[in-house]
Amino acid sequence: MVGAHICRVDQEVSLQGGTGVLPPTDLRVAMVTHGGIGDPFWDEVAAGAFAAQREFGIELFYDGDGNVNEQVRLVDNAVALGYDVLIVSLADPDALEQSIRSAVAAGLLVMSINSGEERGREFGAVTHFGQPDGVAGLGAGERLVSAGVRNLLCLIHEAGNVGLEARCANAGVALELAGGSMRRLFVVGTADRVSTTGEIAAQLQADPSIDGILALNSGIAELAMAAIDSAGSDAKLATFDVSPTILLAIEAGEVLFAVDQQAYLQGFLPVAFAYLRSLDPDAETRGILAGMERWAASGRLVTGPGFVDQTNVRRFPQLGKD
């Protein structure tokens, strides 16, 4: 578990935003994700959420756990403790369905982030922040095909995660349309780096025809790089999500590309949405609120996919700008 963090900004301190002073609020927001401690992606989500908390002066509870039973407990606690807003990632929507429906019935404003968009809407979430994983997977597959990949190994590090399944499935569609194939490999994950590296290397050694690997987060991609090296394989590697190591590997030509879904915005934007939606309509806020309602009605705010390769990798601040 990441560890619960609760922050509150003194409501008597005016926060400057745009052309005027942001109205104070007593809004209480809970964000519960399926991300674990030290994961570069989820650390960036948390950073965005707390930046919004500081900007808008709300109370924010943030926690995350890869164990779905713990995630259910955290969601149920947010309802019991009377939070106003629930922001939740739905990697395993079936397990979370009853808890999300209970939150909606209790009057919480519920939004989904990162995964589970369609099911979240079915349960009562008002909008979603993230990338369409199927679209992202298809785009990744098409790029791998263009790079000459025909026998793809797709690495799934969280069994039952609907977003990861969609990425692999649609990457496979692109391969099949080009006369190639895709198969999944379920790996232990970054909790056991040695075993995961060994699992990937063993597949490469057992089947030398594997010419491409698609990792579904940056941590697994880093292990796949080591596996490719240890197996003496020529397989081309691509990944979802970025980290400083992956950006350097893209620049060096060791990774073809990364699919970026802007983790920071997945943390910042739903908190900002919750704050703005809580404002009383007046001459200054009416236009903002009308825009927010249209935004919610659209069902989603898309934060990706964007593709990072050698042509644009130096735009990331970790590497500097051209």
Q: Do 11 and 127 fall within a single domain?
A: yes
Is residue 141 within 8 A of residue 172, CB to CB? The reply is yes
| Number of domains making up the chain | 2
Q: Are strands 85-89 and 236-240 parallel, antiparallel or unpaired?
A: unpaired
Q: Do 141 and 242 fall within a single domain?
A: yes
pTM across the whole model: 0.88
Q: Do 120 and 266 fall within a single domain?
A: yes
Q: Do 33 and 58 fall within a single domain?
A: yes
71: in domain: yes
310: in domain: no
Q: The domain spanning residue 61 has which CATH number?
A: 3.40.50.2300
316: in domain: no
319: in domain: no
Q: Do 120 and 10 fall within a single domain?
A: yes
Tell me what percent of the residues of the chain surpass a pLDDT of 70: 88
Q: Do 119 and 267 fall within a single domain?
A: yes
Compute how many other C-beta atoms are within 10 angstroms of the C-beta atom of residue 151.
Answer: 16
What is the pLDDT, as a whole number, of residue 228?
Answer: 98
pLDDT tens digits, the chain, 322 residues: what are they?
Answer: 344 454 443 333 333 344 456 788 899 999 999 997 778 899 999 999 999 999 999 999 999 998 999 999 999 999 999 999 999 999 999 999 999 999 999 999 999 999 999 999 999 999 999 999 999 999 999 999 999 999 999 999 998 899 999 999 999 999 999 999 999 999 999 889 999 999 999 999 999 999 999 999 999 999 999 999 999 999 999 999 999 999 999 999 999 999 999 999 999 999 999 998 888 766 566 676 677 677 666 778 899 999 999 999 998 876 654 4
Q: Do 62 and 116 fall within a single domain?
A: yes
Looking at the chain, the number of H-run helices and the number of E-run strands are 11, 15
111 strand-pairing partners: 87
The two most distant CA atoms of the chain are separated, in Å, by 68
Q: Do 108 and 147 fall within a single domain?
A: no
Residue 186, domain extent: 133-260
Q: Do 253 and 141 fall within a single domain?
A: yes
54: in domain: yes
- CA separation for the pair 223, 266 (Å, rounded): 25
Q: Do 112 and 172 fall within a single domain?
A: no
Q: Do 124 and 141 fall within a single domain?
A: no
Closest C-alpha among 270, 307, 284, 232 to residue 125: 270
Q: Do 114 and 28 fall within a single domain?
A: yes
Q: Pseudo-torsion of CA 88, 93, 94, 99, nearest 10°?
A: 10
322: in domain: no
